Chain A
Amino acid sequence: DAGVTQSPTHLIKTRGQQVTLRCSPKSGHDTVSWYQQALGQGPQFIFQYYEEEERQRGNFPDRFSGHQFPNYSSELNVNALLLGDSALYLCASSLWGRRNTGELFFGEGSRLTVL
């Protein structure tokens, strides 16, 4: 049973560029959430997707956008990169609604460095 997979694992960009990160949820899961984990900090909620729609959003600017595909996989896009966007980006999958046990399953993350 495949867990949550993310790609790429590491990437380096320069300020002003755009980046796309990808995530495949755990088999059987239909909900994908994205978190940003800055060095030495806890993960911060970016947004969550279910049925290809953004369902909830954290306190992140519009430069951060996402998408969910019919197969439940998801992308996180960040435009106009800033140095402060350097972080580990975590994808988490779960079930929606009453089937939700409260547990999130996390991938290993994509480490983004902005120079």
Chain B
Amino acid sequence: GDSVTQMEGPVTLSEEAFLTINCTYTATGYPSLFWYVQYPGEGLQLLLKATKADDKGSNKGFEATYRKETTSFHLEKGSVQVSDSAVYFCALTRGGATNKLIFGTGTLLAVQP
């Protein structure tokens, strides 16, 4: 079945460091890929998405490129801030009417000043 694998955390970085959180997926066909973020005490919210191969999703300085050849969707940010501290989830959907999401286990990012 479909699945998402993402790097385990926690990831601890200093402010202004470069961030990469790896995500790979297993799915037939052409799923849409997402990164959701969960800030402390808040609900999940969409960070960025890509719906076809080679698409790059971007938002708030974060980027991820849909690589079908490596079945990956790694999240990157050039310079993290303390306010980026959160749990990041990679997810996929096959699309269609139900748009059921399949999530990875999440990666906790802690940014220190």
Per-residue interface assignment for chain B, residues 39 to 72, with 1 indicating a CB less than 8 Å from any chain A CB and 0 otherwise = 0011111100101000000000000000000000
B73 at the interface (CB under 8 A from A): no
Size category, B interface: 20 to 34
Scan residues 34-52 of chain A and give those whose CB is less than 8 A from a CB of chain B.
35, 40-45, 48, 50
- B15: min CB distance to chain A, Å: 26
Q: Is the CB of B104 within 8 A of A42?
A: yes
User: How many A residues, CB 8 Å from partner?
Assistant: 28
Q: Which residue of B lies closest to A99 (CB)?
A: B97
Q: Which residue of B lies closest to A48 (CB)?
A: B98
B105 is contacted by which of A40, A55, A94 (Cβ under 8 Å)? A40
Q: Which of B44, B45, B91 has the most CB of A within 10 A?
A: B44
Interface residue ranges, B against A (CB under 8 Å): 4, 32, 34, 36, 41-46, 49, 51, 89, 91, 93, 95, 97-106
